[in-house]
Amino acid sequence: MNLKNLNELALRAKLEYSRYNHEEIELSEVFKKEFSNLLVQKSNDTISYSVYSSLIKTSTGLTISFPNQWFFIASYFVEFVSELKEYKKSFLAIFSNSNENKELIKKTKESGIIDKEIEQLIESHFNDKTDVHHFKQFIRDYNWWSGSKTIDRADYFVSPILSLAQVVNASQSYIAELSYLLSESPNLLIELNKLQDATKKLEKPKSSVIHEDLSIRDFALFLFKYFYEKNWYTLIGKTIIKPSKINTTEFQSHDLGAFKRLLASFNSPQSKESLTSSNTQRYFDYPILIDNSTYYYFTTQWNGGDEYDLCFNNLKLYFEQEFPIYRLIKENKKFILIKTNYTDSTNFLLNKFIADSAKSGLIYSKQIIQRFTASLLTKPFVICSGLSGSGKTKLAQAFVQWISENDSQYKIIPVGADWTNREPLLGYPNGLDPKSYVTPDSGALQLMIEANSNSNKPYFLILDEMNLSHVERYFADFLSIMESGDSIKLYSGSDRMDSANNPIPKEIGWPKNLFIIGTVNIDETTYMFSPKVLDRANVIEFRITPEEMKNFFNSSTNLEMNKLFVDGEKSKGGLGQDMGESFFQFASEKAIIKIPEIEGDNNILNKFFVALQNVGSEFGYRSAMEMELLITKLGSDCLNDENGNSLENHTKIDIAIMQKLLPKIHGSRKKLVLPLETLAGFCLKRINEPQEVPFANEKSIYQQYLADTRDLSKWTILYPISFEKIERMYKNVIDNGFTSYAEA
């Protein structure tokens, strides 16, 4: 039978409901008609509807008036109610409704002890041990399912729903009845979900104020939910975990920078009592996340002053640094979250750039443009590598000119072979004049200063032929602050001015709205990248297929870059300039949406990790999170094709492997032959294979594929982009005794 765990369903329902905004709603005619019919059929009651409320007249002459939000509140608990009804069916099958059994049920509830005779009845009814365990919990521990009234009663489902929804029993008990009715009609639930989605799309903020609260602890909870509730793993991945204990219960505490014991994770659900010590409740008594059997709770120990770790000032420092378009304000005892760039700017849509670039004569595959854009949205550092003349710099130039209002938003800088320090990018203090600072001719420093002054717009720094010099020599400061968020010290002592008498700051922070694009060629005049550089970037390889070259020769279109500008005039800015702010806002969102292929024991990325670990090229937590974020961005609506379709999950994974994992592989034939065969095997699957090949044997899959003479009637290539690259690296290491990502 497989009864579901009612406790987990209850907690999940409560968690989902806590995110509901209680917006006013107009019911659709479809919903009204179907619910009216259901009501008459089930209870002979009638209902009439106003714009935002409803009125029920019962068959006994009573009237019940309620806002339409109650339908939505009720919908959050339908899955819980549906399962509760399954438990009730089992109860009725096991027990009769005799007064004797009613007394036994009441006694079991009060004592928490199940009579042996009842145990035998339960065990004989169920075939599954888990079902036996769940049902025993159901009848002896009403807290387990938030119940109150004994289950032999007709209204047994009312109290748990009211408790989970945290509403007043006397005046709002009909919410439970609505949940029960909605559980009878899947179509009604689908219609409600459509209405809620439509309402969210139509919602427009009336001001830039997102939220305000008088309670610092409720304000802090709102902030973390607002920015992280789509994926708490992004936040948890940043925390430092320590073993802790509250009363006699052991748990893991999670520190995030200045926020000590921000989260607590337990192996079982907790109550208000268990989360209280020294008469103080330490954590909110409902979990923010349930991950399998781990329950995460958020701290309540916030203070409005600034003398504690969990204080408003630290909240302000953290969130304004992580999400620069937001501000936290404390005003008249209120704590306020404000979005500073409140605007009606056009939403970013990649298809507009694809269409405009095609009109200008640029020839790129749609996928390479999707990869380039998604990489920028994931991390503001992208490296474009590949064949000289394959369009690396042109794509970067086209995109930044198309999305910018004017040329002050970007700089295209050719890297010199003589760049041995940071001066070509950041300049230097004049040693002969204590009031002067020599700014670089490249304009990079000025671009950073302007980006910091205009935090709502994107700025772009294109470093052409980035590896003509050792990247670490001139770019080390950028690599460091890109991750740490610290500042680069430009000089000390008295204030200095540039040659135009503009003040130059003593230090400059990393602008969150600055995107760096590097282009690289590999030949005898260039230098290889270190793992430190590759680990911080998305690496996109540009190659030209025979079909693309054929199309180029057959094309009569001339390259006209001026068509990327309004009216063809550079001074009027790019055709996509109205999407600039939206593009940056989207890049600021770091929530991760999981896909099934990278979860659980068969996680393909984990298999790559194990294989890469054998050659010392494994990835860390940062790369893992960036791969998940890249996969999320690749599935975003704004990157969909003209038919509204997003990339397939296996294509997203393929791109992540190609851009984040393979670039770090380099070494000799002895070191890499077997690992490359293993990686190639991960990309293959035999057609009509009855079951997955055991992990221990996967290193031989590639040789099986070769033995079948690459017969694609027998094999499927799961990750063609990565597979093609691995094969080139494999051939290179066999032929030359050495290979790397860049040279294959």
Average pLDDT over residues 733-742: 88
pLDDT of 295-319, one tens digit each? 999 999 998 666 678 888 889 888 8
The two three-digit tokens of residue 554, written as one number: 């057959």
* Burial (CB count <10 Å: 0-12, 13-18, 19+), residue 342: middle
CA distance 625 to 592: 8
Confidence at residue 51, expressed as pLDDT on a 0 to 100 scale: 76
pLDDT-wise least confident of 121-130, 548-557, 730-739:
548-557
Cβ proximity of 296 and 289 under 8 Å:
yes
pLDDT of 547-571, one tens digit each? 888 888 887 678 899 999 988 888 8
CA distance 157 to 135: 16
Q: How many CB atoms lie within 10 A of CB 416?
A: 13
pLDDT reading at 528 higher than 60 = yes
pLDDT reading at 653 higher than 70 = yes
pLDDT of 28-77, one tens digit each? 888 888 889 888 888 888 998 887 788 898 888 888 888 888 888 888 88
Confidence at residue 249, expressed as pLDDT on a 0 to 100 scale: 94
List Cβ<8 Å contacts ≥24 apart for 503-507: 504/427, 504/437, 504/439, 504/445, 504/449, 505/449
Return the SS3 of 363: coil
CA distance 361 to 369: 15
Q: Closest Cα partner for 70 from 130, 22, 112?
A: 22
Q: How far is CA 421 from CA 44, 400, 470, 499, in A?
A: 83, 27, 9, 22
Beta strand 381-386 pairing with 538-542: parallel
Q: Phi/psi of residue 657, each to 5°?
A: -60, -45
pLDDT classification of 207: cutoffs 50, 70, 90: very low
Q: Residues, the chain, total?
A: 744
The two three-digit tokens of residue 226, written as one number: 């607002």
pLDDT classification of 689: cutoffs 50, 70, 90: low
CA distance 303 to 259: 12
pLDDT of 246-298, one tens digit each? 999 999 999 998 899 999 999 999 999 999 999 999 999 989 998 888 999 99
Beta strand 437-438 pairing with 459-464: unpaired
The two three-digit tokens of residue 387, written as one number: 């064949």
Return the SS3 of 27: coil
| Between 107 and 16, the higher pLDDT residue | 107
Confidence at residue 440, expressed as pLDDT on a 0 to 100 scale: 94
pLDDT classification of 128: cutoffs 50, 70, 90: confident
One-letter amino acid at 593 equals: I
pLDDT of 361-414, one tens digit each? 888 889 999 999 999 999 999 999 988 888 899 999 999 999 999 999 999 999
pLDDT of 615-632, one tens digit each? 777 788 888 888 999 998
CA distance 320 to 326: 6
One-letter amino acid at 263 equals: L
pLDDT reading at 426 higher than 90 = yes
pLDDT reading at 12 higher than 80 = no
The two three-digit tokens of residue 381, written as one number: 């550092």
pLDDT of 427-475, one tens digit each? 999 999 999 999 999 999 999 999 988 888 999 999 999 989 989 889 9
Helix 366-378 and helix 392-403, axial crossing angle in degrees, nearest 10 = 70
* Burial (CB count <10 Å: 0-12, 13-18, 19+), residue 515: buried
pLDDT reading at 204 higher than 50 = no
In what helix (H) or strand (E) does residue 33 lie, and over which residues does it extend?
A: helix 29-43
Confidence at residue 437, expressed as pLDDT on a 0 to 100 scale: 95
Return the SS3 of 240: strand
Q: Closest Cα partner for 141 from 324, 240, 7, 30?
A: 7
pLDDT reading at 725 higher than 60 = yes
Q: Closest Cα partner for 381 from 614, 539, 557?
A: 539
Instruction: Return mean pLDDT, the chain.
Output: 85
Cβ proximity of 372 and 540 under 8 Å:
yes
In b/e form, how buried is each residue of 214-245, taking b as 16+ CB within 10 angstroms? Answer: eebbebbbbbbbbbbbebbebbbeebeeeeee
pLDDT-wise least confident of 117-121, 478-482, 570-574, 591-595:
591-595
Question: What does the DSSP 8-state code read for residue 58?
Answer: -
Confidence at residue 326, expressed as pLDDT on a 0 to 100 scale: 79
CA distance 176 to 80: 11
Confidence at residue 696, expressed as pLDDT on a 0 to 100 scale: 45
CA distance 566 to 572: 6
CA distance 38 to 188: 10
The two three-digit tokens of residue 403, written as one number: 């999305």
CA distance 14 to 676: 48
Q: Who contacts 344 (Cβ-Cβ below 8 Å, separation ≥6)?
A: none
CA atoms within 13 A on the CB side of 381: 19
Q: Phi/psi of residue 439, each to 5°?
A: -80, 150
CA distance 704 to 155: 63
CA distance 153 to 147: 12
Confidence at residue 24, expressed as pLDDT on a 0 to 100 scale: 66
Question: What are the beta bridge partners of residue 296?
Answer: 265, 289
Confidence at residue 208, expressed as pLDDT on a 0 to 100 scale: 65
Q: Phi/psi of residue 133, each to 5°?
A: -60, -45
CA distance 629 to 484: 19
Q: How many CB atoms lie within 10 A of CB 422?
A: 20
| pTM of structure | 0.58
Please state the three-class secondary structure of 140-159 as a single string: HCHHHHCCCCCCCCCCCCHH
